[in-house]
Structure formats: structure tokens, C-alpha cells
A and B are shown apart, each in its own frame.
Chain A
Amino acid sequence: MNGFDAPKIEYFTVSPILIVLGVAVIGVLVEAFAPRKLRYPLQVGTALVGLAAAFATSVVVFARLNPFAGDVKAGKVVAEGALAADGPAVFCWLLVLVLGALSVLLFAERRLEAGVVGFAGQAAALPGTEAEREASTSGLEHTEVFPLIMFAIGGMLLFPAANDLLTMFVALEVLSLPLYLLCGLARRRRLLSQEAALKYFLLGAFSSGFFVYGIALVYGYAGSMGFAQIAAAVQADGGERGLLLAGIALISVGLLFKVGAAPFHSWTPDVYQGAPTAVTAFMAAATKVAAFGALLRLFYVAFGGNRTDWTPMIWAVAILTMVVGSVLAISQTDIKRMLAYSSIAHAGFILTGFLGIRSLDEVAAGGLTGVSAVLFYLTTYGFTTLAAFAIVTLVRDGGGEATHLARWQGLGKESPLVAGAFAFLLLAMAGIPLTSGFTGKWAVFAAALQVGAWPVVIVAVLMSAVAAYFYVRVIVLMFFSEPVGDGPSVTTPSIMTSVVIGFGVLATLVLGIVPGALIDVLGRVGVFIR
């Protein structure tokens, strides 16, 4: 009868998401209408511009949070409660946008594959057939990868900001589906690439099935999808607790799958190895950020009330993840696979920090919290791992990237600069002081100890020692063993990959020596709004 009040959307606040998704759509149109010659520059250009714009706006949004006012409740719930633009969310945006932009640069790298991007010339063409040969000779390339990654980034922006379960599910799928496709688009080793895509897709779909069912159960318990209402229900502690617990369990399956935590890690090594290295880098860096952002919000905001119920479960998962990741990495012979396991181990370390949940009154204003520790670790790890994978793309032989560790022997002789940078990144992952890896570890362990999770920290410490072994092993290979045969050659990349590597190394160094500024900011914004 009477007029309806239109949903109120704070367009500026959510503009980063809108921009990125918009640019993605534009990318699709470009694919449709722009002549082939123009596509590559247009795609790269629009993508980078879009990300830059999104970054700019999110900076403004972040500034509006006014992180230096010491008001830890900064931020607001927008879009009818669907999204929360608070400190952690906006920080994740910034992080994802930077990592995303760097990944786009990796995607756009053309010099390594002699003038074409490292993706399948024509995914439809069968490997080893005339069609494929023809496609590669005629220099065909899938510039669709750029819209795809933009969609993924859009989902990653949505994911940590999602303030109700439904939005979270949508975001999850928006970020996952493009990734499934990207995994299958390698120019070399197509079979492996397609297999990776298949595995990732099937398992991803499987896990999201659990996720959705979990949503249903939690909804059944709380009667609402909104985190705030769920939190209230959990506080009130009425209704069928069984539903809640089962719901938490199934939802966490979905999320832990995304972050690659044991026992939901089994896809990680295969997919990381099979996918195009640029995509692997993007997944390892950005997906972790988005997924952990979402994980934090869901558990801290919605399920914070009964954390005593689920923290033991996370203890177990964290310990298992660290052990599986570190121990299995020892026996790997493929550099990408080894980095995959190392990323599993790091997921475990991040979960250790994730344990550092405390009720607001316990947290000293601006003090170190579980949130800020996790976000800091994500920052350090994101840049380090991105640069590491970027270097992996440089080491090549006749058959493309030489990912077998044996081919890395004597790299230090071949090109000391690249080997040195890689060694530095490995030391960072091992957590040697004066690298960001150390400060990051310090932060998450401290957060965990603050809540008395010392057994986890002990395991984490021991596993770091185990992990140190395989990082050092690679350094030994590069510097102290003689090259086998002609040895690998390091192809000089274009400016794009160089920028990525340089940026990653720089970030690793700076965050290792003067992390103070970032940590302080995180200390101030590291609290969710409810």
C-alpha cells in the first residue's frame, strides 16, 4: 500500500568492491568487442587502473576509520547489515588490492614465455594437437585471465567484509569460481594444470556443500543470518545447541578448506603445483588473506560468545596443520610443492595467532590482539610468498619452469642476485630475525601465549625448527652444490615481475626491521565492530 523504503547502501564505503567488480565486467566486454591486438594492453591497463582506484578509495575509507584516534570501535556496518567496513575488513581490502595488483603484474608478464603471457594460448585446444601448436605459433593468448582475476579479487574484498552468512557464501563462491578456471589455464604442462583445476573444483564444491549446510544449521539455531543476531543468540544461549555446534563444525570445514589447514589441506600441494605459477602466487598470498579475514570475523563476531567451545578444536587443527605442513615439506623434491606445504605450515602459524581471541575488556587499547597479530602475519607472509613464487617463474629450462629441486643446484653460481633474493625470502619464511617472517611469528606466538595457549606455541616453535631444515636445504642446493648438466638458466624478466620481486623483498626487509608503524596501526584497528 505505502511506498517502500529503498535499501540504504553506503556506496562510497563499498566502492572498492563495486569498482573491482565493475572493472571485471568491463574486462568481459573488452574480451567481447576489442580487437585481439588491443586486448592485452586494454585488459592490463583497466585492471591496474581499477585496482588503483579501488585502492585509493579504500585508503580514504580506512582514513575515515581514523585509526590513530585510538577509538578501537572504528568502522560501521553498511548495506543493510550485509557488510561491515571496519578496521580488519578495510585492512584486508588494502592488502588484497596490493597483492592483487602485484599478481596482475605477474599475470601480465610476457617476456618469460617469449612474448606471450604464461597462460594457455587457447584452453579449448587439446594439448599436443595441431590446434594447440597453431594456437601457440600464432601467439594466441587468453586475456580473459584478467577479468577472471578481477572477479576473484572482488570476491576477496567481499569475503572478509561479509557480515552475514549468505553474503559470506556468495563471496566465497565469487572468489573461488574464477580461481578454479585460472588453475586450468597453464600454457605449459597442460595436463597437470587441468588436473589441478579439476581437483580444486571438485573439492572446493564439496567443501562449499559443507559450508552451506553449516549455514543452514546455524540459521536454524539463531533464526537469522546476520552475525550480530547470531552473536546475540549465542550469548542468550537458547535453542538447540546441537545445531549450533554442528553448524560451526561444517562452516569451519568450508573456511579451513580455503585457508588450506589440515586435515582439509590435501588439495593444496596438488593445486599449487599444477596451477600456473602466477595463479599459485595469487592464491597463496591473496586467498589466505581473504579467507582468514572471513574466518576471523565469523568466529570472533558471530561465535565469540562460546569461544570456549571451539578454541580447543582450533588448537587441534592448528597443531595438526603445522605438523603436516612442516614434516611433509621435508621430503618434497619440487619447489612449488615444497612452497605449498610451507604455506600449509604457515596457515598453522596463523591459526596459532587466531587462537589469541580475548573479550574486548581484556584487551588493552591499542595492544596486541589476535586479530592484529593475524593480520600482520598475513601481510608479511603475503608479500614474501608472492615474491618467492615470482622468482620460481624465472628459473627455467627447455621445458618451461624448472621446478624440480635438482635443477636449482648451483643457482648461486649461475645468478647470485636471484639466488640471494630467494635465499633471503626463504630465511624470512624460516623466521630469521631482521626479516618480516620473524616479526610475524613473534606476533602470532605472542597473541597465542597471551591466552595461555603455550602448548600450541611449543609445537609451533618445534615445527619452525623442522621447517628451517627444508628452507636451509634449498639454500644449500643453490649455493653449495655444483650445477647438474647445463644447469637451469635464469631468464631475465620484464619490469613487471621485477617489480613484484623487488616489492616483496623490500616489504620483507622493511617489515622485518621497522614493523613498528604497521603493528601500531593494526593494534588500533584490529577490533571488529559488532
Chain B
Amino acid sequence: MTLPWLTILLLLPILGSVVVALLPARLGGPLPKLVGLGFSVLTLVLAIGIAVAYQPGTGLQFAEEVTWIDLFGAHYALGLDGIGLTLVLLTVILTPIVMLASWEDGETGRWGAKGLFAWMLALEGLSIGVFAATDVFLFYVFFEATLIPVYFMVAGYGGPRRVQAAVKFLLYSLAGGLVMLASVIGLYVVSADSEGGPTYLVSELAQLDIGTAAGRWMFVGFFIAFAIKAPMFPVHTWLPDTTEQATPGTSVLLVSVLDKIGTFGMIRFCLEIFPEASRWATPVVIVLAVFSILYGALMAIGSQNISRLIAYTSVSHFGFIVLGIFVMNSQGLAGANLYMFNHGLSTAALFLVTGYLISRRGSARIEDFGGVEKVAPVLAGLMLVAGLSSLALPGLSPFVSELLVMVGAFVYSPWVAAFAVLGIVLAAIYVLWLYQRTMTGPVHEGVAGMRDLGLREIGALAPLVALIVALGFYPQPLLDVINPAVDHTMSQVEKSDPRPTVTEGEAQE
């Protein structure tokens, strides 16, 4: 690899966003949208190329490293391991789909569809940077930078109270980010005192021996930021408010891509840089995670608003992911990684299809629907598929990841699993009850004569559904790239899977 492929990959969409933004207004019409879509597809192609060239197993690939700020020890360092690769893929897959799905949503917004697409591309590029960064400083820069496009996407497009929602989102994230900043600087101080001199390279920080107390403090700083990002109880309330106001497309990019930064960061930074502190915090984190699972699910059941409901389901799902991460065994970690990808797909499908529904009805309140299946069977069918994937039905991709996390939790402690598993029952309730209230029963007068999905809308969802089903039966390609990364993480936290209690030898008595 002579060319800096990752840099190209993350600059391509950013360039695209600049181009789209600068397109003169008078060439209106669909041109800006087409250009934007073109760039995102181009990015997708390039990313697929990278994924093909990626050899499963062997550490960081496509690595780039340039010293950036010597005195800070900051580098411009990119690289992909299995975890990063899957999330980059998720990003580049979802962006064009979201663009296609929200073709019309931007028109009425603050800067028109053009602006929306420009922001989306900017977000795509920055997200790729986040997932590819192998330098904490660089990661932090991208981490904060992603807030700006999302802020303007939320504040500029969507419901009547979108501005407040955007501010709430921004302040929550900024607060988390600043707390994290303290820890980031702490890392500098520690590394500066080490003989190696200041450095922010994850690879070198992982080798650093950080004092127990310092390590724990810094871990807490990082974890708070990531917990806000990933929304975990009790710092989740910004998410429902935001998704309630934002357009479906924004919600997808926010929940499916951006929030993954939180869980990604927990693996990449909390576990790999602060193994001791991670082990120390495990009990608390796991309790929080299980609580998030049940809390999110129950809140989803109680929600009267479709968008809020989906947001709360994500709180529950992120609980599963965090649980999988912190049980620190190969099932849990691999499950969590896979979960991030699958949750991205299923939640995207759910947001988009319900987005179609809401935009048709002009309301997101559940009691405004009923009997939609009769008037719009395709929409209903897709919504059911999306819902079933959200409740992790076997044969759909989320099942494998959820089962892995569950089993990983069981390996950690049966009791944890026993509580977490209640989540699957609650999931069935919130999904099917939503479907029952909106799609079945007598046709609500408000939905009478509702159009069924058009070709563009189906076209946007089709790839998602196809992926969900395909990965439901054959997730192994993803696991092949994830597993080595998981092994690396486990060696970092000095954990290994417990041997089964019964093996060949003992059975022969």
C-alpha cells in the first residue's frame, strides 16, 4: 500500500461535502443531491476495495503515521483493525442509503437538501476518521469534530423543537468530551514523564505502565464521555429528545454510526489503554449495562412516540453492547463488535421505515395510527422485518450478536445473563406491541388512503434487509476480521476464556 488509502477514504466525502455546498444555487434541482450521492457511492466503492484488500488477522493495516504536534506527542496516525474496519464499512454503507431514503426530507430544512447532503458527507468523512484513528489526540479531534455536522443536521432539519434538541445533544456531548479531555491530557502527562517522551499513539500508550490511581481516574474520564455517547443510563435522555425532532436520516447516522463511537472507544481506549482500571470498573459497568438494557426496554414499551420508542430500544441495545464489552471474554467481545454492526443495520431500517410512516401521517404519535397493514402492506412488511431484526429473531443478523453477548454474559456470571435475558422478552413486547398498535386492527381514519412505499423508498431499504438476512445466516466473514482484534483486546486486558468444566477426559468415567 503505497498510497495513504485511509486518508483518501476520509477526505473523499469531505471533499464531496465542500463540492456539494459550493454548488451554485441556480443549478438547483436534484443536481446537488445526485453529486452528494455520487460521492458517497464512490466512498463506498473505495471502502469495499479496502475491505477486500484487508487480510483478516494481522494487526493494524493500511497504517499511516505522521508526527503532527511534536510537543504534544500527537500524530496523524490512521490504521484499521477488525473493529475499525467493520465500523468504517457500516458508515460507508449507511450513508448512501440514508441519502437515498431522505431524498425529500432536506427540501424544507434550513439550508435545503443541498445543505443536508453536505453535512451528511462531512459527518461520513469525520466518522471514518474517528474509527480509523490510532492516535488518541487525533481520535479526540475527530470525536469532537463530528458534533458540528450533527448539530447542524439536527438543528436545521426536522421537528419544531429541533433547535432545543440540538443544543441539548451538543451540550451533553461537549460536557462528555471535555471530561474526556482532562483524561486525554492526563495521558500526555503520564507519557511525557515516561522515558519515551510524550506520545499519543495507542500502540505505545498500551505499553505504558500507568499508575493504578491515575489510570482509574483517566478511565473514568474516558468512560463518562463514551457512556454519554453510547447513551447509557443515566445519561441517555438527550437521545430520545434528539431522535424525536431530527429527520429519520439524521437519526440513523446519529444512532447507527455516531453513537457507536462510544462503544468503539470503550474497546479501543478504555480496555486497551487502561486494562487494570477496566477490570476494576467491570462490576459497576456491568450493572449499569444490565440496567440500561432493562430500563431502555421498559421505557420503549412505555413510549407513546415512535421515534422516542426507537431511541429507547437503542438504549437497551447499547446496554447489550457494553455488557458484551465488559464481560471481557471472546464471546462477549466478538458479540459486542458484531452487535455494533448489526444494530447499525437494524436500527437504520427501523428509523427509515418508521420515517416513511411518520412523514406520510404527519405525526409520530402511536395512537394516530392503526390498520396501516391494510392500506400499505409493503411498508408494514418492511416494518415487521425491521422490528423482528431489532428483537433479534434468529435468521436475522442481530440474533447472532445478541446470543453471543448473552452467552458471554453467562460465561461471566449466570446471574448477569439471567437479568440481561429478560431484555429479549421485553424486546418482543415493544416491537410487536408497536406493530400491533400501528399496523393491525381497524384502519385509523388518519391513515386511510396512505400511499404504499415507492420504488426509491424500497430501494433504500432493500440493501439493508438483504444484509440483515445474509448476515443472519452467514456472519462469519465479519467475525473472521473481528476475532483477531478481540484476541488482541483480551491479551491487552490479560483475560482469557475459562476452560469448559467438562472435557473429553472427564466424560470417560
Contacts and interface: CB of A to CB of B under 8 A. Distances in A.
Interface of A: 364, 366-368, 427, 430-434, 438-439, 441-442, 445-446, 449-450, 454, 457-458, 461-462, 464-465, 468-469, 472-473, 476, 479-481, 514-516, 519-520, 523
Nearest to B68: A516
Contacts of A516: 68-71
Contacts of A445: 181-182, 185
Nearest to A448: B185
A519 B68 CA distance: 12
A56 B170 CA distance: 44
Contacts of A446: 72, 185, 188-189
Interface stretch (B172-180, B254-262, B285-293, B490-498): B172-180
A523 B170 CA distance: 34
Given A368-B71, A433-B145, A442-B72, A476 B181 contact: no
Contacts of A469: 167, 171
B175 A465 contact: yes
A397 B34 CA distance: 41
A454 B179 CA distance: 12
Interface string B233-246: 00000000000000
Nearest to A524: B71
Nearest to B179: A461
When A and B form their complex, which 10 residue pairs have the shortest distance between CB atoms, in order from nearest? A433-B141, A465-B175, A433-B144, A516-B69, A461-B178, A519-B71, A480-B163, A468-B174, A449-B189, A446-B185
Given A450-B192, A469-B171, 17 more contacts: A368-B71, A368-B192, A427-B148, A433-B140, A442-B72, A445-B181, A454-B186, A457-B182, A465-B179, A468-B170, A468-B171, A473-B167, A479-B156, A480-B155, A480-B156, A514-B68, A516-B71
A155 B92 CA distance: 57
B228 to A, nearest CB: 11
Contacts of B155: 476, 479-480
A425 to B, nearest CB: 14
A520 B70 contact: yes
Most B-side CB within 10 Å, residue of A433, A434, A479: A433
B110 interface: yes
Contacts of A368: 71-72, 192
B247 to A, nearest CB: 15
A367 B73 CA distance: 11
Interface of B: 68-72, 110, 140-142, 144-145, 147-148, 152, 155-156, 163, 167, 170-171, 174-175, 178-179, 181-182, 185-186, 188-189, 192, 197, 217
A439 to B, nearest CB: 8
Contacts of A458: 182
A446 B174 CA distance: 19
A512 to B, nearest CB: 9
A397 to B, nearest CB: 24
30 contacts: A367-B71, A368-B72, A430-B174, A431-B178, A432-B144, A433-B141, A433-B145, A445-B182, A446-B185, A449-B185, A454-B186, A454-B217, A457-B182, A461-B182, A465-B178, A468-B174, A468-B178, A469-B167, A472-B167, A472-B170, A476-B155, A476-B167, A479-B152, A480-B163, A514-B69, A515-B69, A516-B71, A519-B70, A520-B71, A523-B71
Most A-side CB within 10 Å, residue of B147, B174, B192: B174
A178 B147 CA distance: 44
Most A-side CB within 10 Å, residue of B68, B156, B167: B167
| Interface residues of chain B: helix, strand, loop or mixed (majority) | helix
A368 B192 CA distance: 9
A304 B347 CA distance: 59
B238 to A, nearest CB: 14
A438 B147 CA distance: 14
A514 B70 CA distance: 10
B167 to A, nearest CB: 6
Contacts of B197: 364
B68 A479 contact: no
B175 A450 contact: no
A450 B72 CA distance: 13
A342 to B, nearest CB: 16
Contacts of A367: 71, 192
Nearest to A446: B185
A361 to B, nearest CB: 14
B69 A519 contact: yes
Contacts of B163: 476, 480-481
Contacts of A431: 178
B156 A457 contact: no
A519 B171 contact: no
A457 B141 contact: no
Nearest to A469: B171
Contacts of B186: 449, 454
A479 B140 CA distance: 26
A450 B189 contact: yes
Nearest to B74: A516
A48 to B, nearest CB: 33
Contacts of B140: 433
Contacts of A364: 192, 197
A464 B179 CA distance: 10
Contact of A442 (B145, B156, B179, B181): B181
Contacts of A433: 140-142, 144-145
Contacts of A465: 171, 174-175, 178-179
A461 B181 contact: yes
Nearest to B186: A449
A441 B140 CA distance: 14
A434 B145 contact: yes
B243 to A, nearest CB: 19
B148 A432 contact: yes
B133 to A, nearest CB: 12
B110 A480 contact: yes
